[in-house]
Structure formats: structure tokens, C-alpha cells
Chains A and B, each alone.
Chain A
Amino acid sequence: MTRIGVVTFPGSLDDHDAARAVTLAGATPVPLWHAAHDLEKVDAVILPGGFSYGDYLRCGAIARFSPIMTEVIAAADRGLPVLGICNGFQVLCESHLLPGALIRNDVRTFVCRDQALRVESRDTVWTCAMAEAQEITIVLKNGEGGYIADAETLARLEGENQVVFRYLGHNPNGSMNDIAGITNARGNVVGLMPHPEHNMEELTGPSLDGRLFFDSLLAFVAAAT
């Protein structure tokens, strides 16, 4: 069975939810501890939401230097699928696995809402089971979700199909180009502010669209082996 690692940093909050989502998707969750150097032979890694290290200094800035991230960065460079959700997206940017940065929401408040997104690229490990331009609803909840990058980076992301998700309707946090999620050039590392792990069950989420992320990964892993 596909083994998906879920990293717990001090202050991670949605690690529990991400592990449950992995189980619901039919894969095996493997807890990974921030202070360890061992990825335990997982097939993919999720960096979950939360406030790692209390968001001190900058969101994700301290987590980036944790022992486990040394391994995640090296493995991602070799092609290991990595999904960064919310704080995990911030960690990916701080780790330079993804370009740009996340800043305080332009509305100056934490925002929790059921967010409509448009799938802009299915050319990644985590979105290959989605349809191009598909509209999905995923829970968004963050205080620092405004995506920024310099003009050159933004042009490259747009030009090379690395924008994966865009906010539909009202832009909830002032992200440039309504960007909700991006990928690296190889398509194995995806970061997004919304939380797919909260969209796995009818009872507890506004949609089942989170399952598409796992369907994608499992299809990719099956094809690769």
C-alpha cells in the first residue's frame, strides 16, 4: 500500500487530519517527526497546516531548518511527491522548493471559508486526476495566505504552467494573480493555502474534492511502479 508521510513540527495542527485523509484515501499514513532524519521509505510527504514553531520569526522560517526538512528537500529534488498545505506551503517557500512567499492577508484578519478554486494545471503529481479548469471547493483558513513573488517569477510561473490553483470569485487574501497554489518545474512539489484534508467526508467538510489530490497521487504512484 502507498505510504504517505505526514510531518509533525512543534505547532503542527492539521497533521492529525492529514493522516486521517490519507487513510480515507486508501493509503497508509506514516507519522514523521520534525527532529528525525528518517523519511521511513515513504512514497510521498505531506507538510500539514498549523503554526509550526508558533510562526515565530516568519511562518515556516524555523521549520525549514528542522532535521526532517533536510531530508524532505533532498528527496524532493530527487522527485519525491511533496504536498505543502497552508503552513506546509509556507515551509516549502521558505525552503526554496517553491518560489515566492506568503504574507499577511490583505483583509488583516484570519479567514476561514469554503473557497471555490479553479484547477489551472493538471500537470502535477497531486492534480493529474483533476480536469483542466475544473472548479472545486476546498476549505481555506489562514492569516497569512497572500501569495507574492517578483514580476519575473510570476511571469515564469504563469508562462510555464506552474500556477496550479486560482481563487474563484472574491480573492480572499490579496494573493497576486489570485494564486492559491503553485508547483515546481518538475510537478512533484505542490503547495497551496486551502486544505484538501478537510474535504474528505460529507459529514465534516463542504465537499469531497480533497479526495482528488489523493486520487492523483495514487494514480501517479501506480503508474510509476
Chain B
Amino acid sequence: MVDTVENAFATPDAQQPWSELGLKAEEYASIRAILGRRPTGCELAMYSVMWSEHCSYKSSKVHLRRFGVLEPHTPRGPLLAGIGQQAGVVDVGNGLAVTFKIESHNHPSYVEPYQGAATGIGGIVRDIIAMGARPIAVMDPLRFGPLDAPDTARVLPGVVAGVGGYGNCLGLPNVGGEVIFDPTYYGNPLVNALCVGVLNHDGMYTNAATGVGNKVILFGSATGGDGIGGASILASETFDADGPAKRPSVQVGDPFMEKLLIEACLELFDADLIVGIQDFGAAGISCATSEMAAAGDGGMHVDLDLVVLRDPTLSPEEILMSESQERMMAVVTPENVDAFMAICAKWDVLATVIGEVIDGDRLIIDYHGERVVDVDPRTVADDGPVYQRPLARPSWIDALNADGAENLPRPASGDELGDQVLALAGSPNLCDKSWIADQYDRYVRGNTVLAQPEDSGLIRLDEETGLGIALSTDNNPRFCLLNPYLGAQLALGESYRNVATTGAEPVAITDCLNFGSPEDPDVMWQFQESIMGLVDGCQALGTPVTGGNVSFYNQTDGTNIHPTPVVGMLGVIDDVADRIPMGFAHPGDAVVLLGETKEELSGSSWADVVHGHLGGMPPAPNLDAERALGRVLIAASKARLLSSAHDLADGGLSQALVESALRKNLGVALTLPDGDPAVALFSESAARVLVSVSGEHYLAFAALCGEHGVPMERLGEVVADPVIEVRGQFMLDLADIRARWEAPIRDAMGAH
């Protein structure tokens, strides 16, 4: 029997499964107080998913408010949409706007790597469509347990195939991301997905259900039993030793349907047939109806039995909670319904009118004529619980910070130095990632100017003018463990630098905040510190936060992941033809190091690979220096002064030399600056870039660096011989470096 509102009044003391649905006793009490009665089964289902950590941000809300101090302004003009919208929107000029957002799909990707990752891509792409944009590219920052761990052999290929299987089938180029291995991600991989879209700058849509009498249309896939409570429950709990018992909770994706949905939506936008639109993410119909009604100017009435089902045995509660993929909801004026249906029919997209906007402020849902939901939608969507979780500076952090890598033994000879350069190049975190990247289509849509392994993904928006955008995602979790405030700023600085290194002006960020359990005070402290680091950093760089995502409970068997606030930076470039690639290009070009190198070895790849060490304080971020460096790179790009530019990050100068040389198989001969050669090669000081510049442009470039106060040091020159020669220290053949660099992932995955 269906549990109706009437029944709820009649049986106030009926036992309800609030605990099984993840609600706390006080949360259940609060729902009863809001309603003035016990909730119906359907209402309980709605509140439970919408008040989950994943949907309500109940542990993070008080901290996320700090982003509010950032001016909604980018270096290119005002933000058109920011935090709280489905995705941020930035005006990029020429009448165009860009929307971008990053999200996590961590827990489902551990339980079922292929579908978890695939639906992660699907979900973020729908967020971008819902802003009125055509999605144009994706990126995927990934974190796994150790490369040689048995479960990584299950998780990594599955995740990569899922990202590729879904993204490739949508026709979206994958232009970048990251792959990082660390023991703390064993049992808790991070699968973050970023999507970027483009729209006319006056073509933005919101999710507001406005206009009494307007129709509510559900379109896309039929609703099934997959993913009931998937993201909302799965991503809101800790995995325990019993392992993945929640397999049926993982959603199953159909990228073909999503491709049709994209094309149908774009035609609907063009024909101006939509009042408001929202994608279905976590919490399915519960989320879409309550959020759209809450954002609107009236109430909403829905007949739940009109929802087309894949599985006719679903209960109304399950229909409300289903996280079946590839669904959207639109509000449409009655006179436009026929035209709306015609476009959906053209694309073979199922569409059903299931309700309408009504007078008043109630969300009312009937099921076969019986009232099963009667709530104020704001209490579901906006007024979830807010927790001020206890936080405390971890007791272990002083000891960790005191154990600096600067005290570790340094290489004693040139040969040993060379061996360490090779060891770094052949380590899982620094090695060739092409086994992964080559499973992604980077060419489709024909506007990809740069893609991985370049410093940022660069996409052309306008074929006439060459206007384009750059994107980079970055985070070094080891730095974040040592100091989450500085670590977050280092991630921000690195993404800023990566975008500028390709010649684009950094304008705004999205962030994916991946952390352990919020019920652990150490984790909440890391979370707060990271946010403060980002807020202060964004203020210094002038780049607002446009939105993003929080993923908590990344913890397995009591071990939290390293704090991992991934930063996705968007940049704008006036003409993509000015882009600067990473690889050395011409023998004879001068090889120049920009920025200042300090003795900063703690948290470095060198400390990790050579000594298995993690301790000390991370390098000091220097955001003023990042800005100055950015100005030099952007000006040099416009004036076409540089042959190549590559950011120094993990592995320092050593790895930058390796990657710049391997890209086009051109060698380099150089002399290290005075001082300890290990510091010169392996320090990971921020705000540094390695460039190559022709003799013709050298003086102009030096003048530019002088003008902006960016330190430069000429190290040597690009050579035709395929070697890296560090004079007085060692000489390595590129062939040997390449063999070491290409091997780790291919070997681990059994590829040939």
C-alpha cells in the first residue's frame, strides 16, 4: 500500500527506516518538525537523499561560505554565474561565454570502475548542458593506489575504459587531467571529471521553475532501479572492511542516449522553447523537482505515475530516489510543448509531461491520484542540516613537519645524480601516461590545439578570430598532507602557471575538494585550511571560484586519503595560434630557467622516489611571482618569442628537462647554476618555468623578464643529439630515458 499524506496523519507513530536511509535521529526529528507530522515514505526518501552529505553539503557548507568573499569578477570581466548555479559561467568576449565545472565520482568508481567513471563523465556533461551550453571538452584528474598493487590492476583499467567509453561516445575530446599514485588512495581511488562548454553570452539558462501553468517535462532515459541512492548514499559513507556491498547502487550509463540528449537540448535552446532546465544528478527526481521548485516563483505539482519506467515494479519511493542516468527536466510554456516534443522525437528522446508549476509554494506529488508528497521544496533543497563539525589541528603534524627531506643524503657523484634523474623519469607518478591518454579521443570536434601531455588543454572556440581557452587541473596531495593551506595554494599556483605557460590568461577556477571523513576532526581541519588557502590564493591571483564539488568520506579501514583539493583553472587566449608548446623545438635555441630555485626538497618527487620519504614543509607558494611569470609568458606568447615553455612541478628541473626533450626527441646540453646540483635538479620551488628561445628573440625576451622582475638564468641550449648533458655531472641518452619513462604503466597493465 502506498504511504499517503493522509496515512501519515493517521499513523503518526509508524516505524520508519530513517536510519537505513542514512538519516540521523535528530535529522528525522527535524523533518517531523518541519512537516508537523511524520513524513510519508516518499517524503522520507526525498529528505534522506537531499539531506545526504553529497547533496546537502551539510559538513562543508559553513566552510564553503568563505568563498563568498571573492569578488565575482575575472580579469576578463564579471562572472555571469557562480557558486550555487549548476556550473559557473565566464564571459570570454566575442559574444561567447564559457561554463566549466569539476565533480567527483570516487566511491562508485571503486565499487564498479567502468560504470562509476563513465557516469562521472555523464553527470558533469549534463551539468554543462543545463547551463544552455554545448559541451566541448572533458578532463579527468585521477588518483589510484600504488601502481603495483593488485587492486590497481582492476580499478585503473576499468576507470580509464569508463572515462574513454563514455566521453569518446559523446564526441568530446579529452584534453588533459592527471594520474597520481599514492598508497592512501588504495581502496579509495579519486575519479574527478571536468567538463567545459561554450554558449552565447546571453544564452544562459537557470533551473528556476517559473510561470504558473507551465509544464514540467521529464526527458531522456526511462527511469530504472539502478543507482537508487547511488551517489547520495554511496558517496556519503565510509567504506568498511566488509568491502563493496553496494554494487547495485552504482548507476549504469548509456552514452548514446546522452549524445542524443545533448543534440536535442541544443536544438531546444536554439528554438527558445525552455523556461528552466536542470540535469538529473544524485537524488534523481527528488533533487530536480525540489530544486527547480525552490528556485522558482511558485509551487510544483507532479504525477509520479506518469514517469516512464524501465522497471514497472519500482515503488514511488524508488522512483523518487532512482539515479538512472541521461535524464533532464525542463519547464516549458503550454504553447511550446508540442514543438518541444517534436524536437525530442526527432532525436528519439523520450519526453513526458509529468507535472506543472502551480500557485503557492508547495511541492505536491501524487501517485495514481493519491497524495504522497506535500512539502515546502525549500526545506528539501535548501534547508538541509548544517553541521559545524569539530576540527582540530592534528597532533601528528608538528612531528611530520619537523622531519624535512632537506636532511636526506644527496647524491655523491655526477653518475649518481644521473641515475636519480632516470629513477624519477621512470617512477609511476612521473612516467609516460600515454597508455591512459591514448584511450581517449583528443581530436574530435577539430578544435583541440593542445592536449595531454602539454601543460594545459587548449581549445579553439572561434575559427575566425582564433579565440580559445586553456584548462589545467592540478593538485599535489603530498604537499597538501604536509600543509593543507600551502598545499592548496601550491595547487592553485601550479594550475595558474600551467595555463599561462601555454600562453593563456588564467581567469577563474573550479575546485573538487576530495577529503577523508568529516567526522574526523583532523580531516575537517585539513578541509578548512585548504579552503582558506584557496580563498587567500584566489584573492591574490584575482581568479574567482566559480563552483565545484566536495567529496568526503574518502576513507577506507580508518585511513583517510591525503587532502586532495584539485584545482581546475580556466584561461583565455586571444588567438590559439599564439600557443606555446612544451617540447624543445630547434637545436641552438637557448634553454632558460625562469624563477627562483630554493632548497625545497620536502614533499618532492625526489624525496619520494629516491628515499621513500614524506615529511617537512612543502615549498613556499609565491603567488606574486606566479602573476609576474604569467605576465611574461602571456606577453611572450603574443609576441611569439618562445619556441617552448614547460612548467616545473613534480620532479623539478630534472623532470622538466626530460619531458621537454622527449616531446620532439631533441637533446639539451646545460650547466647547472652554482650550488648543490641536487637542489638545482630536484627542488620543487614554485613559480618556475623552463623555456627555450631562439637567438633572434633572446634579447627581447630577456628585456620582458627584466620588465616584470622575473629572474632568468640561461642554462644551456637545445641540441640535435638525443641526449641530456649536464656538463661536469652526467650525460644520458634520450633513448635510455625514454625506455625507463615509457615502461611503468605499460608493464603494469601488461600492454605491449
Residues of chain A whose beta carbon lies under 8 Å from any beta carbon of chain B: 10-11, 13-14, 16-17, 20-21, 49-51, 53-56, 107, 109-113, 139, 141, 143, 195, 197-198, 200-201, 203-205
Contacts and interface: CB of A to CB of B under 8 A. Distances in A.
Contact of A112 (B257, B441, B445, B460): B441
A10 B347 contact: yes
Interface in B424-465: 437-449, 460, 463
A111 B256 contact: no
B169 A11 contact: yes
Contacts, number: 90
Interface residues of B, number: 35
B542 to A, nearest CB: 29
Contacts of A204: 443, 446-449, 460
Most buried by A among B161, B170, B444, B577: B444
Nearest to A195: B443
A110 B435 CA distance: 10
B618 interface: no
A17 B444 contact: yes
Given A109-B157, A141-B168, 16 more contacts: A10-B347, A13-B169, A13-B171, A13-B259, A14-B171, A17-B446, A20-B463, A53-B256, A55-B169, A109-B161, A112-B441, A141-B441, A143-B168, A203-B577, A204-B443, A204-B446
A215 B439 CA distance: 31
B366 interface: no
Given A16-B446, A109-B439, A112-B440, A10 B256 contact: yes
Contacts of A13: 169-171, 259, 444
Most buried by B among A13, A53, A55: A13
A197 B169 contact: no
A139 B576 CA distance: 21
Contacts of A198: 443, 446
Given A107-B751, A112-B442, A203-B449, A10 B348 contact: yes
B254 interface: yes
Contacts of A51: 168-169, 255-256, 259
A71 B463 CA distance: 33
A20 B463 CA distance: 10
Contacts of B161: 109-110
Most buried by A among B169, B449, B751, B752: B169
15 contacts: A10-B256, A13-B170, A14-B171, A17-B444, A51-B255, A51-B259, A107-B751, A107-B752, A109-B438, A109-B439, A111-B438, A112-B437, A112-B442, A141-B441, A204-B443
A195 B448 CA distance: 15
B165 interface: yes
A142 to B, nearest CB: 9
A10 B443 contact: no
Contact of B256 (A11, A49, A109, A200): A11
Interface in B166-203: 168-171
Contacts of B440: 110, 112
B506 interface: no
B444 A54 contact: no
B256 A20 contact: no
A215 B607 CA distance: 56
Contacts of A197: 446
A34 to B, nearest CB: 11
B260 interface: yes
B108 interface: no
